[in-house]
Amino acid sequence: MGAAYFIVVNSQDPGFDTTVDGKALSRHARQIDAIAIKLGFKSLDEHCSQSPDDARLQMADLMGIEDEFDLPADAEETLKNMPPEEWYDASHGLDYANKVADHIRQNPTSVKDPDAVLYDLDTMITVLTEAASRGLQWHLQVDF
């Protein structure tokens, strides 16, 4: 299956599809991050955030624990010390995705699978354009 980045917006029911495949972003994150940093942006991981509730569910899932409230003490300590959920303006995400995509279009050998990466970035642009039009914020999460 593999990991995938996906967009979360700060609305339970945003009224539009926020789905981004995100697998190409994950597979080629090092190359994408190198481009983004060169362009003055943060890495993909630095755009990731999650609520303590989401983190609890993800930890339980990764550990194979059925009840997310039965986490071991060290996991509970990690949750207690995690930073608050961070949100970004959709305009920032649009700037990031557009500029990284433009760079890849002009330099297709800068990533191993430019078509797949561009598909994910173009989908991000579609989602973030809609988020911006509705005044929503976003961040990334990783699905393992």
Burial group, residue 133, by CB count within 10 angstroms (0-12, 13-18, 19+): exposed
Q: Which pTM value belongs to this model?
A: 0.88
Q: Which residues contact 66 (CB under 8 A, 6 or more apart)?
A: 60
Beta bridge partners of 4: 143
pLDDT at position 107 is: 99
> Residue 124 and residue 39: Cα distance in Å, rounded?
18
Residues 12-44 pLDDT 10s: 999 999 999 999 999 999 999 999 999 999 999
Helix 52-63 vs helix 73-80: crossing angle, to nearest 10: 160
